[in-house]
Homo-oligomer: A and B are copies of this chain.
Amino acid sequence: MTPAYDVFDDRCPTRMVLDRLADKWALLVLDRLKGGPVRFNHLRRDIRGLSQKVLSQTLKRLERDGLVKRTVHPTVPVSVDYALTPLGQTLTETVAAFAHWAELNMDAVLAAQAAYDTASVG
């Protein structure tokens, strides 16, 4: 069968999905959620540099896309947690692979940058 969608076509809806996923904050949130539900302020504290507003927007988009489930617990004060949906879980390995790649190959990238910059200057 021929593929129904083509990510190289700018009129293809997969571009929209790629746009959403190709987002630093969304990736970090998804990666942080892979161990189980996490509460709003906990996410905010764990992902350094992520502002309240952007976290809120990111979570809303991920929820709309069916990747994350928002659950309100009627405690006092109210607590809200976010968890991966089954669909979202199908992404965990890929997302984790990304984060891990960055951590594992950081040295190589830094070395390449240094070499590139030296070559340009000299």
- A-side interface residues toward B, CB under 8 Å? 3-11, 13-15, 17-19, 21-24, 26-28, 31-32, 46-49, 63-67, 87, 90-91, 93-94, 97-99, 101-103, 105-106, 108-113, 115-117
Contacts and interface: CB of A to CB of B under 8 A. Distances in A.
Interface of A is mostly: helix
B106 A14 contact: yes
Nearest to A66: B112
Nearest to A63: B116
Given A28-B8, A32-B8, A99-B7, A112 B64 contact: yes
Contact of A87 (B10, B18, B87, B112): B112
Given A14-B106, A22-B22, A87-B105, 8 more contacts: A4-B103, A14-B102, A17-B105, A17-B106, A17-B109, A18-B99, A21-B101, A64-B113
A106 B87 CA distance: 11
A62 B64 CA distance: 32
